[in-house]
Chains A and B, each alone.
Chain A
Amino acid sequence: MFSRKDMLPEEDIRQIEERLQVLNTDLGLPKSLSAEELHKRLTAEDCRNFREAGHPDFMYWQRYAGMVATFIIVLMGLVAFTTGMIPLDNFVASSTAADLPAAAEAAPRAEIGAMDMDEIPAPEPEAMIEEAVEEAMETESVSDSGAETAYRSRLYAAGVEDITAALGQMEGVNDVLLLSEAPAASGSNTKMKSSSVKAPDATWQKEFTDVPGESADILKSDGTYFYYYSAPAQAGQEGLVNIIEAKTLTNVATISAGVNDGTELFIRDGRLVVVSQNRQNTAEVLYDASVLVNSRGESVESARLKEAAQRRGTGYGITTVSVYDLTNISAPTLVRSFMQDGSYQYSRLVGGRVFLFTEKAVDRRLALEEEGLLCDTLPVVRDSLSGGSAVVDAQNIAIAPESTAQNYITVSMFDVAQDNEVITNSVLGASHTYLSDGAIYFCYDVDGSSVGIMRMAVGLSMNVLSQTVVKGSMEEPFAINRYEDTLRVGTVTREGGKTYSNVYTLDNSFHPVGSVEGIGSGEQVESIRFVNDVVYITTDRETRPVYALNLADPHDPVILGQLETEPLPANFRMIEGSLLIGVKEEEGSPLRLIADDVSSGWIEDKYEDDLPGAGGSSAAATDFRALLYNSENQLAGFPVICRQPNGSLQNWGYAVYTVNEEGLARKGIVSHADVLNESIDQQRRSVLRGRVVGDRLYTFSGSVVKAHNVETLREEDTLRLV
C-alpha cells in the first residue's frame, strides 16, 4: 500500500495538475442556483430566525450568564459542606457506582481503563442464541443489584433532557450540524492527532465472517426455492424479489420492493424477510404527526407535515423490514412491516431473530433549537403490529462517554416467526458495531487517541452494561473480534509522526488481561485480521511484512514473528478446517484466487490461481457474500471481470473452481453475456451470485438465472427475469 516511496515526484505532480487545469473553466451557474432563486425556497420562519439569531451580544450574555450561574452554585455547595449545613456522609453510600468512572478516568490513557463492574456472564461462544437467551433469563433475574442499576443509569439517558445535554456538549469541527457523518475531533485540542474511529462508508465491508448467524443478502435459498432480489435497470424504478422454484427454474411469485436504495433478504421458518433502504415513499408513513412534535407536544401544522416528513426521510434515511408469510408460496402475504430511521448499516439473523442496525446522523441544530422536533432529537421506529410511529424511549438510549460523534447507532431485534414486540436500543455517539454471541460491541472515538467500547448484553432484552477504553484508533471493522470468551481489539496509534499498532485482550468481564503495543513502529498499518487465536497485522514496509501474534493465552500474547508473505485478502472464508480462500484484486495484476493454510499459525501460501487477462475485478474481493463455497462439492465460485492489457473485456461471468486441501482447479467461467461489451443491457447480465442445489450450479445476474451441471458446467436451463 502507500508509503513515502510511492509518492510521485514533484515534477509528475505538477504535470498532472497542469493537465487538470483544463477543467478550471467557467461552467456558469445555473439560474436555479442563483441567490434570488434559492431565496424563494426559504420560509418566512427561516428568514425571521435568521434575523433574530444575529444578536451576538445576546449569545455572549447567555454564555457568560451560564458560567456565572455555575460558579455561584459551586461556591454555595462548598460553603454548605464546609460549614456542615449539608453532611457529606449523605453522599458517600450512593456514590459507589459514580466512583467507578471517576477512578477509571484517573487511570493513565496509556493503559486500558476498564470502567465496568461484575457483569452478567456471557454465554459460551459456540452457544446458539437460544442458549444465550436462557442464560440471560437466569442472570437477569439475579442481576438487579443496586450497583448495576446505578451503572445502567450512568450509561443510559434518564430522559430527553440528558440527550439534549449530551448533544449540547458535543463539539464538531464546526457547529454547523448537518445530517452528516461524525465530524473529526476539534482541531483546537492539541492532544488530538489525526486518528479517529472511521464511520463506516460504502467501501467498507460492513460485516464480519466470524460472527454468529447469517448476513442478509440479495440471494437466499431453502433448497427448494430461491429468493432473489433483482435491482431495477434504472434509478427510480421498482426492484423485485423473485421467488423461483429451483427444480423447474420457474418464477412462482414476485414481490415489489418499491423504489429503494438497496434490498437484502433473509428466509426463516416459512417467512421471507425483506430489508430495504427506501426513503421516498416511506417518509410520510414513518414521520407522522406523532413524531413531528416539539417539546411542548405541538405538532407541525398539517399543511407542512408532508414537506417536513420528506425532508427528514431524505436526510436521515429510512430502513424498512417487511416480513412475508410463505404458506402459499405463490401468493406471499405481508404480515409485518417495521421501519427505523437512519441509513442501513447491516442486519443479521441469529437463531430466528433479526438484528437490524442503522445509523442516524443528528442534526444538532435542529435537535437543540427551541422548536426542535422529537424526531430530530431521537431515533424513530414504527411497527405495523403496534400502531403508529414512536421515538425510541430516551431510557433505551445509552450515551457513549466522551464521544463527539453526533449520531445514533440503533439496533432493533425481533423474532421472524413470532409476532412479539420489537426491542430497540440506541447508542448516541457510537461509530460502528460488532455483533458477537450474546453481545453487541459499540465502538467510538475518544479524544482522537483512544477507542471507547461499550458492551451490550443481548438476551430477552438489550442492556449496555459495561464500557472500556483502549489506546489507539480502530481503523477498520475487522479490528475487533471475540473468540472463546476473549475480546480482542487491534488499534493504531499515531504519535510524533510515527505509527504503530497494538493488540489488547479483554476477558468476559471486560477486564484487560493482555496487551502488546508498539508493533510495526514507524510503519503504516494496512490491515488487522483475527483468525482463530492468531492475529495478523500487515504494514506497508517495503517487504510488506505480516506480523503474527498468538493469542491462545489471552493473558500472554506471543509474537510469532514477521512473515514475509502476501497479507490475507480483505475478505476471506474459512473452509476445510484451516484453509482460507479469498479473491485478490491488485492493480496491474490479474485477478487471483488464493488459498492460505493457517493451521500452524503462520500464513502458508498454499495455492493460488490467476484468472485470465492482465487485470480484473470481482465483487468477492470486497464482499464475502459474493464468494461461494459449497463443501459437498468442494466448489468455489465468484463473479469476475477480466480485462486485457488495453482495458477491454476478456471475460465477464462467474469463475468456478474445485478447492480442497489438495489444490485449486479452475473448472471454467460461465457467463450470461450475449456479447462482450459494457452496454447497459450486458451490464444487467453481470453475474452477481451463485448457488449449488442438488446437482446444479445456479448463477444469478440482473436479468437472467441460469442452471448449469455442477460437474461439467454445461448450461441446462435459463430463466429470464421480469
Chain B
Amino acid sequence: MNVDVGAVRRAKEGNIESFEMVYAQVAPDLYKVALYTLGNTHDAEDAVSETFLEAFKGIKNLRDETKFASWIMKILSIRCKRKIGQYIKDKNSIDIDEIMGLTSTEGDPTQRAEVLTALNELKQEERLIVVLSVLQGYTIREIAAILGCPQGTVSSKFHRTLKKLKEKLS
C-alpha cells in the first residue's frame, strides 16, 4: 500500500480531509484482505467500516506516520478476528460464487475458482497470513507484529499453510 505520509501527519493534526484521503489510499487493500479472510462481502464490509471508525478515533495516538499502513492493517486483522470469534462454530467457508462475481471480467476464472476453492479449505487465520504475505507483500516479521503473534509461530503457520495449498492446488 502506498500512503501519503504528509497526509497522515496532517490527519494526526486533526485534518479530516487528509484522513479520508489516506483511508481511500488503503481501503481497496483493506477490503481485499477482509474479503479473502472472512469469505463474504457482508462481513468484509463490516470489518472495514469498523476499521475506518477505529482508525479515525485512534490516529492521534499513531507514533510513526510511516507505519500507517501496517497500523491500520493491524486494526483490520483484529476486527477480522473478532468477526471470526462471533461466528457459530465451523462457519469457515468462502462464498466463492459471490467473489467470482466481483472479478468476472479479469483473468482466468477457472484458475481463480481453483485457487478460491483451495483457500476455502484453510482456516481463516491461515488465509489471513497467506493474504498478508502473498497479496500484500508483508514480511513474516511484519505479519507477526500485525497479528500480535511470535514470529516463529507466524513462520511455521505460513509454511504449513503453503504446504496445504500445494497439495490442494497440485
Contact digits for B39-70, partner A, Cβ 8 Å, 1 yes 0 no: 00100010011001111111111110001000
Among A13, A41, A59, A365, which residue has its beta carbon within 8 angstroms of that of B58? A365
Is A56 an interface residue, CB under 8 A from the partner? yes
Using CB atoms, name the residue of chain B closest to A32.
B45
Contact between A173 and B74 (Cβ–Cβ < 8 Å)?
yes
Contact between A13 and B162 (Cβ–Cβ < 8 Å)?
yes
Contact between A187 and B151 (Cβ–Cβ < 8 Å)?
no
Contact between A50 and B169 (Cβ–Cβ < 8 Å)?
no
Contact between A176 and B54 (Cβ–Cβ < 8 Å)?
yes
Contact between B159 and A6 (Cβ–Cβ < 8 Å)?
yes
A376 to chain B, nearest CB (A): 13
Contact between A46 and B89 (Cβ–Cβ < 8 Å)?
no
Is B84 an interface residue, CB under 8 A from the partner? yes
B83 to chain A, nearest CB (A): 10
Using CB atoms, name the residue of chain B closest to A180.
B78
How far apart sit A13 and B16, CA to CA, in the bound complex (Å)? 42
Among A12, A33, A178, A261, which residue has its beta carbon within 8 angstroms of that of B78? A178
B59-98 residues at the A interface, CB under 8 angstroms: 59-63, 67, 71, 74-75, 78-79, 81-82, 84-89, 91
Contact between A175 and B36 (Cβ–Cβ < 8 Å)?
no
How far apart sit A297 and B73, CA to CA, in the bound complex (Å)? 36
B72 to chain A, nearest CB (A): 9
Is B156 an interface residue, CB under 8 A from the partner? yes
Name the B residues within 8 Å of A2 (CB-CB).
156, 159-160
Given A27-B31, A32-B45, A365-B58 in contact, is the A17-B53 Cβ separation under 8 Å? no
Contact digits for A12-51, partner B, Cβ 8 Å, 1 yes 0 no: 1100110111111111111011111011011000110111
Contact digits for A150-182, partner B, Cβ 8 Å, 1 yes 0 no: 000000000000000000000001111111111
Using CB atoms, name the residue of chain B closest to A236.
B88
Name the A residues within 8 Å of B2 (CB-CB).
none
B25 to chain A, nearest CB (A): 10
Name the A residues within 8 Å of B28 (CB-CB).
26-29
A320 to chain B, nearest CB (A): 15
Given A51-B14, A262-B88 in contact, is the A38-B63 Cβ separation under 8 Å? no
Is A388 an interface residue, CB under 8 A from the partner? no
Q: Count A interface residues, CB 8 Å.
A: 72
Name the B residues within 8 Å of A56 (CB-CB).
12-13
Contact between A8 and B88 (Cβ–Cβ < 8 Å)?
no
How far apart sit A194 and B141, CA to CA, in the bound complex (Å)? 10
Is A410 an interface residue, CB under 8 A from the partner? no
Given A8-B159, A16-B169, A54-B15 in contact, is the A25-B106 Cβ separation under 8 Å? yes
Is A63 an interface residue, CB under 8 A from the partner? no
Name the B residues within 8 Å of A35 (CB-CB).
20-21, 23-24, 27, 52
Using CB atoms, name the residue of chain B closest to A194.
B150
Contact between A235 and B32 (Cβ–Cβ < 8 Å)?
no
Contact between B14 and A50 (Cβ–Cβ < 8 Å)?
yes
How far apart sit A42 and B159, CA to CA, in the bound complex (Å)? 41
Is B165 an interface residue, CB under 8 A from the partner? yes
Name the B residues within 8 Å of A38 (CB-CB).
23, 49, 52-53
How far apart sit A696 and B15, CA to CA, in the bound complex (Å)? 71
Given A20-B135, A30-B41, A54-B12 in contact, is the A184-B148 Cβ separation under 8 Å? yes
Contact between A365 and B61 (Cβ–Cβ < 8 Å)?
yes
B70 to chain A, nearest CB (A): 9
Name the A residues within 8 Å of B48 (CB-CB).
33
How far apart sit A2 and B19, CA to CA, in the bound complex (Å)? 42
Contact between B14 and A29 (Cβ–Cβ < 8 Å)?
no
Among B71, B116, B153, B162, which residue has its beta carbon within 8 angstroms of that of A176? B71
B41 to chain A, nearest CB (A): 7
Contact between B63 and A184 (Cβ–Cβ < 8 Å)?
no
A458-489 residues at the B interface, CB under 8 angstroms: none
A-B contacts, 19 of them at CB < 8 A, read A6-B159, A8-B162, A8-B163, A16-B134, A16-B162, A23-B119, A23-B131, A25-B106, A32-B45, A34-B24, A35-B23, A38-B23, A42-B53, A46-B57, A51-B14, A174-B71, A176-B58, A182-B148, A235-B91
Closest 9 CB pairs of A and B: A54-B14, A194-B150, A176-B58, A35-B20, A175-B61, A2-B156, A180-B78, A54-B13, A51-B14
Enumerate chain B interface residues (CB-CB to A < 8 A). 11-16, 19-21, 23-24, 27-28, 31-32, 35-36, 41, 45, 48-49, 52-63, 67, 71, 74-75, 78-79, 81-82, 84-89, 91, 99, 102-103, 106-108, 111-112, 115-116, 119, 123, 130-131, 134-135, 144-145, 148-153, 156, 159-160, 162-163, 165-166, 169
Enumerate chain A interface residues (CB-CB to B < 8 A). 1-2, 6-8, 12-13, 16-17, 19-30, 32-36, 38-39, 41-42, 46-47, 49-56, 59, 173-184, 187, 193-196, 201-203, 231, 235, 261-262, 279, 315, 343, 365, 494, 499, 524
